[in-house]
Amino acid sequence: STTKTTAPDSATSLVDKHECCVFFFCLSVDSVNSNPNDPNHRSKKPILKEKIQTLTNLFLLLFHSVDETSEAEIKRDLGMMGFSVSDELLGTVAPIVVYWLYSGIYVALSSLERYRLHSKAEEEEKNLVSKSAVVKGVLLQQVVQAAVAILLFTVTGSDAEADIAQQFSLLVLTRQFIIAMIILDTWQYFMHRYMHHNKFLYKHIHSQHHRLVVPYAYGALYNHPVEGLLLDTVGGALSFLISGMSPRTSIFFFSFATIKTVDDHCGLCLPGNLFHMVFKNNSAYHDVHHQLYGSKYNFSQPFFSVWDRILGTYMPYSLEKREGGGFEARPTKEFKDD
């Protein structure tokens, strides 16, 4: 007799694979809170090796690169790992989720022509990259971002008692937020400026971000992978380490920084926008930098404009009504073309 093999339900298979991705994230932070005095405690090198193997297994599942027997074995091993949501997991995933949710709000509002800094026609004509390529580029950066976050949380570990104590200290949290903002701003200003002044780095790396002459929300993290790693991911890691924030605090800080970055690239000047009220560094400020005349100015991001003002790269502007509706950020001083 013959055995008839039926094709697996594609929807069920897809769900299974997505569940495996969740298990990978849980595994990646499972060991962070382990006690070194615990007899079952293992050193971090074997743990990292296991995580790399698990990631490899997940890619094999996602791209159908294993037979049915191997797939069942991998799923069984992943299932034995259990499921838990930790601060480290949320610190890794939350900024990515926030990025797309907040960008989605601006996509829904992009039809409000009277608040746009550029018309939709300009967006289509001036931008040098397709929206699908932008999405792929952002997703690639976020994969790198998540990998570095996992590694950072694993290597630094977590002091549970200290974390609990910090939760009730508003002064400590405020201090950590301010320090992290200053560190991130300082790192990004000098790295960003250097990428503009070094012709090789600009041509081969940073120019990719400037293919978006007319910025939009979900293009905020569209960068060359090297720039994404150096400017955003390393800058974020430094702000986390130097400020001394806990994984729980990092959930809120990096979600906030993500929202601010998306807002700076949204291409809209909406009435009542709190970011525009509190920060001089906003969507109009950054739009000046994305224009040809402003490429040597307004390097500061994502929070303050202090370094631009101190070092002479600040380009003041006025927000004028644009012919045909909307606004335009016009420079109010002469600028150099070199």
Residue 96 pLDDT? 97
**How do residues 55-111 score in pLDDT, each as one tens digit?**
555 545 444 455 666 656 655 554 544 435 788 999 999 999 999 999 999 999 999
Residue 5 pLDDT? 39
Phi, psi (rounded to 5 degrees) for 47:
-65, -45
**How do residues 302-321 score in pLDDT, each as one tens digit?**
999 999 999 999 999 999 99
Strands 317-321 and 327-331: antiparallel
Residue 57 pLDDT? 56
Residue 14 pLDDT? 38
Token pair of 79, please? 């299932």
Whether residue 306 contacts residue 300, with contact meaning beta carbons closer than 8 Å, is answered with yes
Residue 283 pLDDT? 96
Q: Which amino acid is at 285?
A: Y
Q: What crossing angle do the helices spanning 234-243 and 247-264 adopt, rounded to 10°?
A: 140
The DSSP symbol for 208 reads: G
Q: What is the CA radius of gyration of the chain?
A: 23
> Could you say which residues of the chain have pLDDT below 50?
1-36, 44, 59, 61-64, 78, 80-83, 160-161
Nearest to 238 by CA among 163, 305, 201, 185: 185
Residue 332 pLDDT? 87
Phi, psi (rounded to 5 degrees) for 320:
-110, 155
